């Protein structure tokens, strides 16, 4: 994926085991700039990071991908485990000749980042883990089981409205109804089989005991009003990760990079050492 400075390129890339992912690369003006890899939430696609690209590409080549089962990526038979999701990232980095990168993920993507930093510390320069958990206690497993039943019967559209309400603040949805509608369409457009296969991975999440082994400088980011990955949950994760920082985005819900983008970008820029636009 080479090209002129500031070029944007998109294609599907084989990452191993016959799985092809949709990948987009937004180049930095500096050819030898480092790379940041962005990983989406469950029921999202790489477009969820649109608001961050302009900031990030001032310092990084920005590589985004649709997680398997989502967007324009393949939907292999499930269930998936985090070893599959992490393996896809390693395969992607290998295919693009990226030996080491900063990694930022949100929710499912943040958990994938934890797995990458734990299992492949040599591949992670820095880690930004947003709106995520590190474990799946029984009530969380049960909640996912209920949602899986709903999606099995009615598709992802059946949970799109409730998901949108958890993801975006009331203020944002009133202020930017077009963007909110686009996010809802992204949720509803997720293949049911891919959603279910990734939800099964979430039910097996078990990284809490390994957070102390993470070597990469780590920033945890959470919205103050996130009911899925609460500030208390992420505070405990930060305390368990050597040298980690925690940023709480006031008024943000599960997608603070969307509903609180200005504050999210300010925090992100501080951690990565870049200037916010």
**Cβ(232)–Cβ(225) under 8 Å?**
no
| Residue 17, pLDDT above cutoff 90 | yes
Task: Identify the three-state secondary structure at position 162.
Answer: helix
**Cβ(109)–Cβ(39) under 8 Å?**
yes
Residue 275 has a pLDDT of 74
Q: Where are the domains of the chain?
A: 8-272
| Residue 2, pLDDT above cutoff 60 | no
| Residue 4, pLDDT above cutoff 70 | no
CATH homologous superfamily of domain 8-272? Alpha/Beta hydrolase fold, catalytic domain (3.40.50.1820)
Average pLDDT (48-55) is 98
pLDDT band for 35, please (50, 70, 90 cuts): very high
Give the pLDDT confidence of 136-184 residue by residue, as tens digits.
Answer: 999 999 999 999 999 999 999 999 999 999 999 999 999 999 999 999 9
| Residue 277, pLDDT above cutoff 80 | no
Residue 6 has a pLDDT of 76
Bridge pairing between strands 19-26 and 8-16: antiparallel
First to last CA, the chain: 26
Average pLDDT (37-66) is 98
Average pLDDT (22-39) is 98
β-bridge mates for residue 206, sequence order: 135
Q: Rounded distance, CA 240 to CA 242, Å?
A: 6
In sequence order, what are the residues at sequence separation of 6 or more whose Cβ sits closer than 8 angstroms to the Cβ of residue 10? 22, 23, 24, 25
- Sign of the Cα torsion 184, 43, 166, 79 reads positive
């Amino acid at each position: 994926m080479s090209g002129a400075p500031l070029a944007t390129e998109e294609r599907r890339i084989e990452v191993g085991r016959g799985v092809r992912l949709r990948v987009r690369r937004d180049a930095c003006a500096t050819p030898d700039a480092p790379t940041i890899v962005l990983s989406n939430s469950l029921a999202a696609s790489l477009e969820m990071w649109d608001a961050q690209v302009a900031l990030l590409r001032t310092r990084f080549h920005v590589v985004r991908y649709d997680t398997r089962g989502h967007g324009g990526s393949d939907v292999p038979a499930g269930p998936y485990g985090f070893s599959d999701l992490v393996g896809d990232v390693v395969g992607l980095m290998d295919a693009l000749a990226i030996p080491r990168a900063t990694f930022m993920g949100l929710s499912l993507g943040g958990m994938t980042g934890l797995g990458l930093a734990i299992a492949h510390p040599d591949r992670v320069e820095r880690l930004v883990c947003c709106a995520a958990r590190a474990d799946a206690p029984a009530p969380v497993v049960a909640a996912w089981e209920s949602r899986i039943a709903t999606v099995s019967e009615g598709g992802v559209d059946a949970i799109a409205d409730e998901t949108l309400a958890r993801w975006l603040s009331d203020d944002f949805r009133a202020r930017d109804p077009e963007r909110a509608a686009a996010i809802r369409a992204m949720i509803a457009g997720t293949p049911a089989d891919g959603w279910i296969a990734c939800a099964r991975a979430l039910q097996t999440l078990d990284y809490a005991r390994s957070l102390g082994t993470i070597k990469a400088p780590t920033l945890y980011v959470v919205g103050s009003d996130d009911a899925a990955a609460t500030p208390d949950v992420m505070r405990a994760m930060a305390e368990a990760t050597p040298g980690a920082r925690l940023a709480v985005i006031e008024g943000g819900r599960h997608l603070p990079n969307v509903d609180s983008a200005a504050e999210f970008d300010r925090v992100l820029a501080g951690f990565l050492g870049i200037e916010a636009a």
